[in-house]
Structure 1
Amino acid sequence: MPDAAPSRIHLPDAPADQQALLDAGGVACWSEDVTIDTYEPGGPDPYPAFLDRRVYQGSSGRVYPLPMIESISHEKQPRAWRAIHLENAYVRLMLLPELGGRIHIGYDKVAGYDFFYRNNVIKPALVGLAGPWISGGVEFNWPQHHRPATFLPVDSRIEREDDGSAIVWHSDLDPLQRMRGVHGVRLRPGSSLIELDVRLHNCTDVPQTFLWWANVAARSHEQYQSFFPDDVRFVADHARRAITAFPHADRAYYGVDYPTLAAERPGADRIDVYSNIPVPTSYMITDTEDGFFGGYDHAADAGFVHWADPAISPGKKQWTWGDGPIGRAWDDQLTDTDGPYVELMAGVYTDNQPDFAWLMPGETKTFSQHWFPVHAIGPARQATTDAAVSVTTKGGRSRIGVLTTRAHGAARVEVRVDGGDTRITDVAIGPDSPAVVEVTGTAVEVTVVADDAILVRWVRRDAEPAEPWVATAPEAPERIEGTDELLLTAAHLVQYRHPTRSPLPYLREALRRDPDDARARTMLGAWHLARAEYAAAREHLEAAVARETRRNLNPRDGEAHYLLGLALERLGERDAADRRFARAAWNAVWAAPASLARARLALADGRPSDALRLADAADAIPEARRLRVLALRRLGRDDEATARLEDLVAADPLDPITVLLADAPAPSDPRAALDAGAEFARAGALEEALAATERTATGESGFGNLEPVRLILRAAWAEAAGHPDLAATERAAADRLDLGGAFPAGLDQHDALVAGVAAGSSAAAGMLGAWLLDAGRDDDALAALDRARALGADDPVVLRNLALATVRTGGSPDDAASLYETALARRADPRLVLERDLLAQLTGTDAATRLALLERHPAALDARDDLAVAHVGLLLDVGRLDDAWRILTTRVFRPFEGGEGVVLAAYDRAACLLARRDCAEGRPDAAIALLHAGIDAPANLGEGRHPAVPQAERFVALGDAHRLAGDDVAARAAWERACAATPLAVAPRPADEATFWIGVAHTRLGSHDAAADVWTELDARAAQIESAPDEVDYFATSLPELLVFDLDTADRRRAQAARLRELAAVGRTTADERMNA
């Protein structure tokens, strides 16, 4: 709930030296904290989240090794945020390095308009991959959507360029894949153009998938319009699972029947206008030849344009929470008073979500994106980085609006009209002086020329493109005819990080048909390598190489050789690894990473001259340039090494690994030091590895607790460097630490943990168990965690992880429950209470017993919404209605995106039970008041009602209360509403317990045939549940499954099916009784 006092961000004046630059027509750029009212996120969960089934933005929602944050403060407090201010004569920007390097404010100084949505509070909601996410400004999303580090700090610096431009660089290592992303925001003197320069680098050993979406928010209302190129005639949903025409939706989309709405209200099918979209909705264009799009506020007569090279930037998307109850609820979650917004996202190397591209080992992709504000011209019909042009024709006259990003004292606007005549108008034009030209006739081409150059040209397009393709879910492996299709399907599932469909069945089916298929063997080798199953990886990759070289000793692609080299290196077979890398280097794609791998082996084996030669062959890769410094040191060429290192730091001062090699101030991400140490150690530079990790691993809590991981890594490197006393000291220190938040990741950390377990470290064994659980190696995790306990570990994290491993491997639920009880005795953390209750659900524990277990921990019930909802459900089960109602009406809930409906369902159930009690006790008026009050969801529940979700039970109960009160007309109206369909609820829904009440409503109304159809539908759904478990929708976009146990058991499905059959039988009996009466 927003506080009474409205919040407002007050931008500071430029310092005197920067103001002087502005006065001279230049660019001001400075760092100065800004105080923003902030709703702080809760603390990170100390327990690792193994979210194997979570669907997030259409792809995998796995979050490990990031800790989850699952609560947000309900009170705002002023907080000083580090801000970087970038300003010229036309534009002012404010950037927040502590929140992922986002642009938080984009202000058009000419129009006096925030062209990017200005959120005057930092008010995160549970939308992000790891929890907190804020709306507003521009979020730079990579390598998946939303940016995993969206609520984490990045390193930043201000750079001045020779032409007077200023660019603010931001850099970090992605917390999940450890690839490096760099983005720079630039303003130039005399230009309204905002330039974004991006470098994305894969500093890992293996190919990685990524996407890039710049996510712009714009304040929206009934006069805000999104605009796309003229040739955009269709748009698609996530994963292209559905399409519709654009801008007039010509079919149901997101369950909304737009053609029917347009028949009732002309223009209601225009989905380029925010206020026409009643429910949360995404759409992405399917194709265009152009590079621009944007948004325009007709009330303010201002907006913005985005432009990027369409050859690499096909992605153009709008998202909205919708102008309806759901949208308004999310507005309240995300801001106090700044209202709704739309997101206008620009994708590079991607055209959909999910749609991932590849980054090869050592590869760097560079690109640029551009935005500029516009005003007084209307939505653009064409745009470049130089200008935007709008064209409208009405009543035989055409209006042309033009705005440029630089001032042009002598420009001309050439308008060719239908019939061939060209009208030329001379104009003075610039960012602060738009030109509007009106001509007689229908414009078919507009050209804007200045300084003998074409700034922008618009040509009318009359062609109607064919309807684009729609994606389909792949068939089961055994039903796919060709091996090629099997392998393409497996590759797609890997590349798109599919959250619920594994590639393994497709690969295994391919091998069943051809046991030596090289592509399947290579993919399986990569899969086992990522899980640190080095011997299995070797087996598959050797088979792949054998097939590839059966007739041709020089295969076209060196991937299998390269991956085999990695597996052999991990197995300690260094000479064999070197030979495989050498052969991989014959192929250009693999030459640089393979040469780097060989250089690393050479340096570690005491051959610095060879290492230097090989590093030179891979000099395009930053890791190779650093290895060159290490090789020069080993050769005794220290001055040359120092000079080379200084050059590297000067060329890229934000590279965290280079900075650590130079012993400069540490980057903001404490995990970077561990990455640096691992890079140096693999090259045999063990002293440099120990030096890089000498400082205690501290930093923003959202990065996790890295100190135990640091100590175990250092122990492994110290042992290898011949410092056994230091190794023992570091392991002993790790064993004394709390393992909460200590989530190791990556193969280097795995190998160090294995060494630590061999040396008798309980901390290493406990953390290895977490690593293995995340990798899906549950049996190995169980063994590691048992070993941790045998070594004396009694940390609650170890006990909880052991309980998970016990259940996942088919062990005794009673043993798991005992482990949870032991952990709870150590520390009654809310997550432990939640998971203990989930385990009780899994084992069929009765409601009274579960309730008693929960109510032993009242503080935990207060701390988590999901526990509060479980508590409410159990209270209702045992008849404590008033206690449940008190929680539902006093607690403020914050749902995860995609998890809406759970709290509302509990609220509706409680309301109907209370209303029936009122009726039974002769108080129908009280029941009527109660049921009416909840038709619109109360604000404290944190969510709005979706029009596709019926409130049938509520309206049946309301009708019954009216009938009891003697008002048959009102009763009938309520029953009719219980079973009424609307154009906003056309998507089919599987029959469930709520469907029963639709049948009851039909029965109350005397519509017995319609009621009979409902009972049949319930029986059919029961049979479907009995025949097979439900598959998660292949195209699901957001399923925030935060549970660690799979509750979809056979017993649970049987009970669900029996309940539906029981309801169908009750419905038929009731209907027969009414007909007989």
Structure 2
Amino acid sequence: MCPGRATSRHRLNKNPRDGEASMLLGCALERQGDEAGAWDCYYKASWSGNCRDAAWWALARLAMKRGDTADALEKVNTSLQFNASNHLAMGLKALALANSGRAKEAQAYIVVCLEQYPLSYPLHCARWMIAPGDESRASLLRVTGRRGINGSLLAGWLLSIGQKQAAKEVLEVLDCQEALPMLWRASLSDDANKRQRLIAEAECCHARKVRFPNTLDEVQMLQTLSDSAFARYLLGCFWYSKRRYEEAVSCWRETLEKSPDYAPAHRLLGVYAWNKQQDAAQALAYLQRAVELEPENARFLFELDFLKKSLGTPVNERLETLAARKAVVLKRDDLTAELLSLWNAAGHYADAATILGTRVFHPWEGGEGKVTGQYLLNQLHRALQLIERKAFTQAARCLNEALRYPDNLGEGRLPGQTDNDIWYLLGYCAEQAGDAHRAAEYYQLALQGGSTLDAGRYYNDQPADYLFWQGIALRKSGNSTQAEQHFQNFIAWARQHRDDVPQADFFAVSLPDLVVLDVSAQRQHQQHCLFIEALGHLGLGNVSASQQAMQRLLQLNPAHDKAHLIRHALQSGMFS
């Protein structure tokens, strides 16, 4: 009965849990221009401890905006009682004092506050507004660093308290050479020619220093520039970041209506088509158009190639595109890594070796193991070429070089890396050269590491092909029964796990990734299972079944690095 009575007792209680709902409603109404409604909501929110300082601060802003400086001063003092470190409120108080004819008191207040908060942008801004001069101007420029984010913050603050002219003047003084402050100035300008000039300058500045809008003040400013293709583009980026995809796409389409050759909008519509609509044809068309419009943009080319890779485009077709734009490809390490992968897959080992030997690479988020992996593959492919020519001494030299990474690759070897493939091939070379004792030592080294298969989700997991070479080494060491069981486990694992649904993981080496195009984890898992199945059949000597699984794998991913390596090893007669 007690729960029922409690429910009955509170059924008609219309008081909210706290003032948060009223505070949020007030903010929404203010943004929509209903300041009277916002005023009432802020007052309701002020009774609650968790909203008190913010509510009184909001009321002070609205009072200042309507020119009632006395009321603004009263309310900002109340707000500062509950949150004395609100820099925007301190700046408002100083301006309210000055506008009330108490300029000296305002300056004294600023001096006191700056002793405790010497880096407060609003206080330095208020000091310059109250007493313009070289010293206050220099201090404002020094403290803000003329950074765009600081200019945007000050512009939004001043507009929120009704100081439009002051916002224009502050932005002029700061003269931030970034896109958003330039757009602020354009939105506040009454001169149509100046407005267009500032918008054009903003677009140029954005190319030099990128910062996307991330505050509601910036959003409302961009909404006033409805005639600007660039402003609509930035507004679309904001909506997309908030998962409001329809608004984002609408903005980008407006951008293209005003400026059909604006490549970034084509690119983002392509990303949207792929990630949210799963429309491969439209995504490809948009990204290809972006590359056509900006052929020197390496990021656009990388994303187009990444999409083609995801769609299973043949190696030679992708290679033809990248090789024709090699100068653009070499602007980015990640795109260069893709070119290396294609060269290694297509048998252009000398081309890949030249880049790997001369280019200085740098680490990037999500790129762990990509360049060093191509280095290892290139050394192994070149060694297999030499083995095919019976040049076992040179092949062994090539394999030994693979045990150490050159400094220019920008990445070191992983602890515990077993290199089963290298040790096995070294053993094979020694055996073919007639050195049975050394061959046995190498085959023993090829047995290192664990023997348990897994989903292979991280770059530092033991690769599945290492376990394959481990099994081949078992057979070479005289453990044929154990080797056969080893490869039977491959096939059993692939069959058991082929229908698994991989879950998103956020471990340090799995995410984040800088690639904006989504990748199907299910498709990657399917490739992994096919690869393991192919290795299992090959280890058991069933070459036909292995090639069938490998063919299905290469239909999904024609550029699968390890599949091409195993094929090369098979062609070289390693397993005959």
TM-score range, shorter chain: 0.7 to 0.9
The residue aligned with 1:802 is 269
The residue aligned with 1:319 is none
CA contact (8 A) 2:42 2:59 kept: yes
1:759-908 pair list within 5 angstroms? 760-792=227-259, 794-810=261-277, 812-827=279-294, 828-896=296-364, 899-908=367-376
Shift of 1:732: 5.1
User: In structure 1, what is the Cα distance between the partners aligned to 2:173 and 2:287?
Assistant: 35
User: In structure 2, what is the Cα distance between the partners aligned to 1:607 and 1:793?
Assistant: 48
The residue aligned with 1:56 is none
The residue aligned with 2:446 is 978
CA contact (8 A) 1:1026 1:1057 kept: no
Shift of 1:1025: 5.1
CA deviation vs aligned residue, 1:231-274 (integer Å, no higher than 9, x gap): xxxxxxxxxxxxxxxxxxxxxxxxxxxxxxxxxxxxxxxxxxxx
CA contact (8 A) 1:599 1:615 kept: yes
Counterpart check, 1:616 vs 2:83? no
User: In structure 2, what is the Cα distance between the partners aligned to 1:926 and 1:850?
Assistant: 32
Whichever structure has more helix as a proportion of its residues is 2
Call closer, same or farther: CA 1:755–1:628 in 2, change over 3 Å: same
Call closer, same or farther: CA 1:593–1:852 in 2, change over 3 Å: same
1:141-290 pair list within 5 angstroms? none
Which of 136, 144, 148 lines up with 1:670 in the alignment? 148
The residue aligned with 1:1031 is 504
CA contact (8 A) 1:578 1:601 kept: yes
Unaligned segments of structure 1, at least 5 residues: 1-548, 699-704
Counterpart check, 1:1006 vs 2:497? no
Root-mean-square deviation (CA, aligned residues, Å) is 3.1
SS in 2 for 1:1069: coil
SS in 2 for 1:863: coil
Call closer, same or farther: CA 1:781–1:845 in 2, change over 3 Å: same
Shift of 1:913: 1.4
Shift of 1:586: 1.7
CA deviation vs aligned residue, 1:847-901 (integer Å, no higher than 9, x gap): 1111111122222222221111111100011111111122222222222367432
Call closer, same or farther: CA 1:812–1:941 in 2, change over 3 Å: same
CA deviation vs aligned residue, 1:541-595 (integer Å, no higher than 9, x gap): xxxxxxxx96655555433332333233223333333333223322223211221
Which of 520, 533, 540 lines up with 1:1068 in the alignment? 540
Counterpart check, 1:743 vs 2:175? no
The residue aligned with 2:194 is 729
Which of 183, 188, 197 lines up with 1:712 in the alignment? 183
Which of 604, 624, 642 lines up with 2:65 in the alignment? 604
The residue aligned with 2:172 is 694
Letter in 1 for 2:377: R
Letter in 1 for 2:94: V
Counterpart check, 1:582 vs 2:43? yes
> Structure 1 length as normaliser, TM-score?
0.44
The residue aligned with 2:556 is none
The residue aligned with 1:1016 is 489
1:211-610 pair list within 5 angstroms? 552=13, 554=15, 557-610=18-71
Whichever structure has more strand as a proportion of its residues is 1
CA contact (8 A) 2:256 2:262 kept: no
The residue aligned with 1:228 is none
User: In structure 2, what is the Cα distance between the partners aligned to 1:735 and 1:775?
Assistant: 27
Shift of 1:920: 0.9
User: In structure 1, what is the Cα distance between the partners aligned to 2:464 and 2:442?
Assistant: 21
Shift of 1:933: 1.8
CA contact (8 A) 2:271 2:283 kept: yes
User: In structure 2, what is the Cα distance between the partners aligned to 1:889 and 1:632?
Assistant: 68
Letter in 2 for 1:568: L
User: In structure 1, what is the Cα distance between the partners aligned to 2:448 and 2:425?
Assistant: 15
User: In structure 2, what is the Cα distance between the partners aligned to 1:864 and 1:784?
Assistant: 30
User: In structure 2, what is the Cα distance between the partners aligned to 1:595 and 1:792?
Assistant: 45
SS in 1 for 2:515: coil
Letter in 2 for 1:616: N
Letter in 2 for 1:1009: Q
Counterpart check, 1:658 vs 2:123? yes
Shift of 1:643: 4.3
The residue aligned with 1:755 is 224
Which of 420, 431, 436 lines up with 1:963 in the alignment? 431
The residue aligned with 1:1042 is 514
The residue aligned with 1:938 is 406
SS in 2 for 1:694: helix
SS in 2 for 1:909: helix
SS in 2 for 1:618: helix
Greater relative CO, 1 or 2 (CA 8 Å, sep 6+): 1
Shift of 1:1020: 2.1
CA contact (8 A) 1:976 1:1005 kept: yes
User: In structure 2, what is the Cα distance between the partners aligned to 1:742 and 1:572?
Assistant: 27
User: In structure 2, what is the Cα distance between the partners aligned to 1:577 and 1:1063?
Assistant: 68
User: In structure 1, what is the Cα distance between the partners aligned to 2:64 and 2:487?
Assistant: 73
User: In structure 1, what is the Cα distance between the partners aligned to 2:149 and 2:391?
Assistant: 63
Which of 457, 469, 490 lines up with 1:997 in the alignment? 469
CA deviation vs aligned residue, 1:406-443 (integer Å, no higher than 9, x gap): xxxxxxxxxxxxxxxxxxxxxxxxxxxxxxxxxxxxxx
Shift of 1:965: 1.1
Shift of 1:832: 1.6
User: In structure 2, what is the Cα distance between the partners aligned to 1:770 and 1:943?
Assistant: 34
Letter in 2 for 1:630: L
Q: Percent identity?
A: 26
Call closer, same or farther: CA 1:1015–1:597 in 2, change over 3 Å: farther
CA contact (8 A) 1:824 1:833 kept: yes
The residue aligned with 1:46 is none
Letter in 2 for 1:885: A
User: In structure 2, what is the Cα distance between the partners aligned to 1:696 and 1:821?
Assistant: 40
CA contact (8 A) 1:1002 1:1010 kept: yes
The residue aligned with 1:349 is none
SS in 2 for 1:810: coil
Call closer, same or farther: CA 1:670–1:711 in 2, change over 3 Å: closer
CA contact (8 A) 1:829 1:860 kept: yes
SS in 2 for 1:1041: coil
CA deviation vs aligned residue, 1:2-53 (integer Å, no higher than 9, x gap): xxxxxxxxxxxxxxxxxxxxxxxxxxxxxxxxxxxxxxxxxxxxxxxxxxxx
Shift of 1:814: 3.6
CA contact (8 A) 1:779 1:809 kept: no
Call closer, same or farther: CA 1:1021–1:696 in 2, change over 3 Å: farther
User: In structure 1, what is the Cα distance between the partners aligned to 2:287 and 2:183?
Assistant: 27
Aligned residues: 507
Letter in 2 for 1:938: P
User: In structure 1, what is the Cα distance between the partners aligned to 2:41 and 2:509?
Assistant: 41
Letter in 1 for 2:219: H
CA contact (8 A) 1:568 1:576 kept: yes
User: In structure 2, what is the Cα distance between the partners aligned to 1:613 and 1:900?
Assistant: 58
CA contact (8 A) 2:275 2:518 kept: no
Counterpart check, 1:683 vs 2:154? no
User: In structure 2, what is the Cα distance between the partners aligned to 1:1013 and 1:579?
Assistant: 75
Unaligned segments of structure 2, at least 5 residues: 1-9, 129-136, 451-457, 547-575
Letter in 1 for 2:168: L
